[in-house]
Chain A
């Protein structure tokens, strides 16, 4: 089953924060996050391997709640370059099931 992401789309002004949620109906052992800019290939952001793990990548961080089978991606002080579609992924990299996607647009 494909992980479900929320919201489906969000529009932010530059400098605002956003949270993207990823929820799975199946047990989650690891969560990947990717960003895909329009017309480009997806790019790896981070992977969380353990329940409760939190990771940071510049102003983008994520948490993983294994018990709730959920992960959240946090974008703080958003920049124009953050615009794109964000996908979570469940499973291992060699057999990844991508989430439904969240389209993020950052405006001036």
Chain B
């Protein structure tokens, strides 16, 4: 298993500002993932944070809007830049833990952002 801590747990932000979300894992992991969950919706993968290289972004997500840092094997940050109300979502950090030959995702508690 993995214990994942995210900060902040929630925030209310003004349009046009940026916010950085931090994710700390209790063990070293190769890959960390950032997901977005819009209100009442499913989870969508934003990007994979790789230590020592640039993050890999999924279709529809760009580095200028969601810059990611991965300074070491236990920590990552996601910045939501130039926010608009459409960015109001829960942002979740996750890692893969191998069990019985298959990987399962463990999630942090999420960071709930409201953009006014």
Contact A41 B104 (CB under 8 A): no
Digitize B40-73: 1 where CB-to-A-CB distance is under 8 Å, 0 elsewhere: 0111110010000000000000000000000000
Contact A95 B105 (CB under 8 A): no
Interface positions, chain B 25-46, Cβ under 8 Å from A, are: 31, 33, 41-45
Residues of B close to A42: CB separation below 8 A: 43, 92, 105, 107
A93-B96, A94-B31, A94-B96 given; A44·B43 CB < 8 A: no
A93-B96, A94-B33 given; A47·B104 CB < 8 A: yes
A2-B42, A98-B42, A99-B42 given; A41·B92 CB < 8 A: yes
Point out which of B31, B44, B107 has the most chain A C-beta atoms below 10 A from its C-beta. B107
Chain A residue at smallest Cβ distance from B92 = A41
Asked if B109 is an interface residue, CB under 8 A from chain A, the answer is yes
B57 to chain A, nearest CB (A): 12
Interface residues on A, range: 20 to 34
Residues of B close to A32: CB separation below 8 A: 104-105
Point out which of B44, B48, B92, B104 has the most chain A C-beta atoms below 10 A from its C-beta. B104
Residues of A close to B42: CB separation below 8 A: 2, 87, 98-101
Chain B residue at smallest Cβ distance from A30 = B102
Separation of A87 and B44 alpha carbons in the complex (Å): 12
Residues of A close to B44: CB separation below 8 A: 98
A44 to chain B, nearest CB (A): 4
Chain B residue at smallest Cβ distance from A89 = B105
Nearest 8 A/B pairs, CB to CB: A93-B103, A41-B107, A44-B104, A93-B96, A98-B43, A98-B42, A47-B102, A101-B42
Not counting A47-B104, A93-B103, A96-B105, a sample of 9 additional A-B residue pairs whose C-beta atoms are within 8 angstroms of each other reads: A34-B105, A43-B107, A93-B102, A94-B48, A94-B96, A94-B103, A97-B45, A98-B43, A98-B44
